[in-house]
Every structure is written in structure tokens, then in C-alpha cells.
Amino acid sequence: MKVNQILTLLPNVQDKTTNKAIDKALQNTNESFGDLLNKTINDVNSLQSEAGKAMEKMVSGESSDLHEVMIAVEKARTSFDLLMEIRNKTMDMYREVMRMSV
């Protein structure tokens, strides 16, 4: 199921202007929700990998810039938190659909 199909099931989530912009953006990409989710998971994974490498460099003494390490770690943490919220909302939506079909 595509994201724009899900948005049409949710009344008054956003105003019509925003819905048109989202629909146009989704039509240009032609990505399914699964493809978008896989891409997001890969992006989160790469950010976590970069943060791990930055911490390893800091510990080994290759890098002395604590600021850059903290930025990389916070990017990874924030992206992971967002991914978990997307997962939680998707599971809530799935449970709601299953409840309605019973």
C-alpha cells in the first residue's frame, strides 16, 4: 500500500494544500511504503555506523574533535528514535485496521 493511499484513509489529517503537495511528491517518486521504509532503515543503519566509527576514532586518538563525535551520535540517536516512532505508529495503525475488520 502506498503512503498516499494511507493518507486518503485518514480524514482531515492535513489541509488540502499539503495533501496535494504530498501526492505530487509521491507520484514523482513512485515508491511504495515498503521501499520508503527500507530506504529509511538503511539510512538509520548508515548513520549508526558512522557514529560508531566516529567514537572508535575518538577512543583510538585519531580524532580529537568531541563536537563532531557528539553530532554524529545525536544524528544516529534522533534518526533511530524517529524510526521507532514510525514503527510504533504503523503497528498501532495495523492493530486498528485488524480491530475494525473483526
For residues 74 and 63, which has the higher predicted lDDT (pLDDT)? 74
With CA atoms as reference, report the closest residue to 2 among 31, 38, 40: 31
Task: For 4-43, write each residue's pLDDT tens digit.
Answer: 655 565 555 445 555 666 666 656 667 788 888 899 999 9
- Residue 41, C-alpha cell as written in the block: 532503515
Is this structure's pTM higher than 0.85? no
For residues 94 and 64, which has the higher predicted lDDT (pLDDT)? 94
> Which sequence spans correspond to the domains of the chain?
1-30, 32-101
**CA end-to-end span of the chain:** 20
Task: Please report the pLDDT score of residue 89 as a whole number.
Answer: 95
User: What is the pLDDT averaged over residues 77-97?
Assistant: 94
